[in-house]
Chain A
Amino acid sequence: MIHRNRYPFYFVLGALILYLVFSIIPGIAGIFYSFTDWSGYTTTVNFIGLDNFKTIFSANENYLLYIRNTFTFTLITIVLKTALGLALALILTEGVKRPAYFYRMLIYLPVVLPALAVALIFRSILNPATGFLNTTLRMMGLGILARKWLVDPHIALYSVIGVDTWQGVGYIMVILIAGLQSVPREYYEAAEVDGAGFWARLFGITLPLMMPAIIIVTVLNLLYALKVFDIVYALTNGGPGYATDVVYTAVFQAFSQGQWGLGTAFSSLLFVFMSVLGFFVIRLLDRGQAIE
């Protein structure tokens, strides 16, 4: 009783109402609209059963390709950011010692930039004829490696992945540095006495003790990558053709073309999938605090 007076529930209402109105209600209402022919051009909405989902999973449409592109993007960015982030974290903690904070500051810098600005800069850098990347490769005698980065449908998705990794790796590195610093020094000293080399220490001590941090960065990368939009939209807008279209660029297209029922169905698939993920995220975050 005393608690209730001291910590009144109305304190929660501001946050709760914003969250319900702008996130939960649209998410759940979206599931219902998935079974309708909702359109941006008409006011009537009719129930059409599973038709939208049949369209999405039909081999004649491109939606399966968008899902595959999203998964490719997600998988490769997770692997690249974690591997490069870990390498950088090791270089900055084990290798260089003193001015590491300066390096860290510069490597983290792209993380705070708007993805949109990053994408525009890289549209110039990746220009096949005049871009910085190909010019530099040619200058170094590596012209054979020069590519039509964002124009060639076979490599455009990987170029987008590369740009996204460039921007995001600093974020992962910083979290992994904190993880590395929590590994007790005594373990390394003991290992050194036993004559364990760099790789033995990496796989025997560092990685196993870093597992919680690695799981967290994987989840963070996963949550980001499934929802990716800005960088893809501004780099390629899904092109060439549909080679780099992901879930959210397809959603924007459906929105612009007035196919709201279909777009809602596609969004709702992601909503349900990520709600399940969200359940695991909660468990992960809660464990983090319980041990704190």
Chain B
Amino acid sequence: MLAKRFNVLGAHSLAIIACLIMVIPFYLVVVNSFKSKADASSMSVALPPTLHAENFSTVISAGKLGTSFFNSVLYASGSTIIGTLFAAMAAFVLSRNRSRFNRLLYFFIIMGIALPANYFTLTKVMQITALINTRGGIILLLAAGQIPFGVFLIYGFLDTIPRELDEAAIMDGCGPLQLFFQIILPMLTPVLVTDAVLSFLGAWSNFIMPLYYLNNTASWPMTLSVYNFFGQYQANWNLVSADILMTVLPVILVYLLAQRYILSGITTGAVKG
């Protein structure tokens, strides 16, 4: 009995140490974002002697964060809407009509989960389609990247929606579009939320696509402008911290609100083998 209590105590201690290791870097960013330049120079754990909330307004104007924030929201939500909708439509037909060809097509699409990008020929594609250096181009690129996993996730969930529902809807005179948008899509809500949250987080964090394909600072998302800001203001850790904080706060917020969906999404397929 005693040994068991010690085990539980030991486990709690280890878990708390692990959590501290995970949280300390975040804590450092928060406290240093409110310090003066001199106090933040060593990024210490000390609390700020005086609160310098003006760091945030400085960063917003110096780093032009208003536009970047708007761009990030636009890219993340635009790509999420397109990616999730297209993935759901494709998964629906591939899952319901399992012809030999459709099975093959399904495998072909989910193989995209593994495939790496070729940024040179992708540049060529972006030039030919006149999408390079455009906001729409980045949205489509990010959406394309989300599709293989989205199709995989939604395809698995569709098995839980009975086909009799389709039969009944068709009897009532539904066409394919009506069947999908009015009957199937609402039933897919849990998996759509999961896919959308994962896509949104991924798109918000994406750095490499804008790095290659957006050379105009006015269309940069947060990730690119925080990196650029760091290059210019390396010595001002208070400002860099404030910028980092504003970059990560939206994803942390989404994470806290949608934890349940994130966890269900990443464990799907992983443990059912």
Contact sample, A vs B, 27 pairs, CB 8 Å cutoff:
A11-B92, A16-B90, A18-B82, A26-B122, A27-B117, A29-B118, A91-B18, A94-B11, A96-B8, A96-B11, A112-B201, A114-B207, A114-B248, A124-B28, A125-B28, A130-B43, A132-B45, A166-B22, A171-B266, A174-B266, A182-B271, A212-B273, A216-B273, A252-B212, A263-B119, A288-B271, A289-B155
Q: Is B192 an interface position by the 8 A CB rule?
A: no
Interface string of B132-147 (1 = CB under 8 A from A): 0000000011011101
Take A19-B144, A282-B107 as given contacts and tell me if A113 and B112 are in contact as well, using a CB distance cutoff of 8 Å: no
Nearest Cβ on chain B to A271's Cβ, whole angstroms = 6
8 extra interface residue pairs, beta carbon distance < 8 Å, beyond A179-B271, A274-B114: A15-B87, A27-B115, A95-B15, A103-B18, A117-B223, A260-B120, A281-B114, A286-B107
Closest CB in chain A relative to B141 CB, distance in Å = 6
Contact A15 B118 (CB under 8 A): no
Do A7 and B92 have beta carbons less than 8 Å apart?
yes
Q: Is the CB of B120 within 8 A of A116?
A: no
Q: Report A-chain residues with C-beta under 8 Å of the C-beta of B270.
A: 175, 178-179, 213, 216-217, 220, 288
Kindly state the separation between the CA atoms of A183 and B118 in the bound complex, as whole angstroms.
Answer: 41
The answer to the question of A186 belonging to the interface, with a C-beta cut-off of 8 Å to chain B, is: no
* A291 interface residue (CB < 8 Å to B): yes
- Tell me the interface secondary structure of chain B in the complex: helix
A137 within 8 Å of B by Cβ? Answer: no
On whether the beta carbons of B107 and A12 are closer than 8 Å, the reply is no
**In the bound complex, do residue B90 and residue A22 qualify as a contact, i.e. CB atoms below 8 Å apart?**
no
Q: Is the CB–CB distance between B114 and A114 below 8 Å?
A: no
A121 within 8 A of B: yes
Shortest A5–chain B CB gap in Å is 7
A44 CB → nearest B CB, Å:
15
How many B residues touch A, CB cutoff 8 Å? Answer: 104
Q: Within 8 Å of chain B (Cβ to Cβ): is A54?
A: no
| B163-198 near A? 1/0 per residue, CB < 8 Å | 000100010000010011000000000000000000
Max chain A C-beta neighbours (<10 A), residue from B89, B118, B121, B140: B118
Could you say which of B23, B124, B155, B201 has the most chain A C-beta atoms within 10 Å of its C-beta? B124
Contacts of A220 in B (CB 8 A): 270
The complex places the Cα of A289 from the Cα of B119 at a distance, in Å, of 33
Q: Given A115-B205, A116-B226, does the pair A12, B93 have CB atoms closer than 8 Å? A: yes
Counting from the closest, the 4 A-B pairs by CB-CB distance are: A95-B11, A278-B114, A114-B205, A30-B118
CB–CB A135/B42 < 8 A: yes
Q: What band does the interface of chain A fall in when counting residues whose beta carbon is under 8 Å from B?
A: 35 or more
Partner of A15, one of B86, B114, B115: B86
Our count of residue pairs bridging A and B at CB distance below 8 angstroms stands at: 302
Q: Which of B140, B155, B156 contacts A22 (CB 8 A)?
A: B140
Which residues of chain B in 94-151 are interfacial with respect to chain A, using CB atoms and an 8 Å cutoff?
A: 94, 96-97, 99, 105, 107, 109-125, 129, 140-141, 143-145, 147-148, 150-151
Chain B positions within 8 Å of A121 at CB level: 25-26, 28-29, 244
Q: Specify which of B28, B86, B92 lies most central, judged by the most chain A CB atoms within 10 Å of its CB.
A: B86
Interface assignment of B51: CB less than 8 Å from any CB of chain A: no
Assembled-state Cα–Cα distance A284/B269 (Å): 9
Taken together as a complex, chains A and B put the C-alpha atoms of A88 and B157 apart, in Å, by 29
Task: Report A-chain residues with C-beta under 8 Å of the C-beta of B99.
Answer: 3
> Shortest beta-carbon distance, A286 to chain B, in Å?
7
**Is there an interface contact between B93 and A7, defined as CB atoms closer than 8 Å?**
yes
Chain B minimum-CB-distance residue to A38: B120
Give the shortest distance, in Å, between A132 (CB) and chain B (any CB).
6
A191 within 8 Å of B (CB atoms): no
The stretch among B54-62, B63-71, B251-259 that forms the contact with chain A is B251-259
Give Cα A171–Cα B125 distance, bound, in whole angstroms: 33
Kindly state whether residue A105 has any CB partner on chain B within 8 Å: yes
Q: Mark A272-291, 1 if CB is under 8 A from B, else 0.
A: 00110111011011111101
Instruction: Provide the main secondary structure of the chain A interface.
Output: helix
List A residues at the B interface (Cβ < 8 Å).
Answer: 3-9, 11-12, 14-16, 18-19, 21-27, 29-30, 33, 38, 88, 91-92, 94-97, 100, 103, 105-110, 112-118, 120-122, 124-125, 127, 130-132, 135, 166, 170-171, 174-175, 178-179, 182, 212-213, 215-217, 220, 223, 226-227, 229-230, 234, 248, 251-252, 255, 260, 263-264, 267-268, 270-271, 274-275, 277-279, 281-282, 284-289, 291-292
**In the complex the two chains form, is B207's CB within 8 Å of A88's CB?**
no
Contact of B11 with A91 in the complex, beta carbons under 8 Å: yes
> Looking across the interface, which residue of chain B has its beta carbon closest to that of A13?
B90
Interface centre among B41, B155, B248 (most CB of A within 10 A): B248
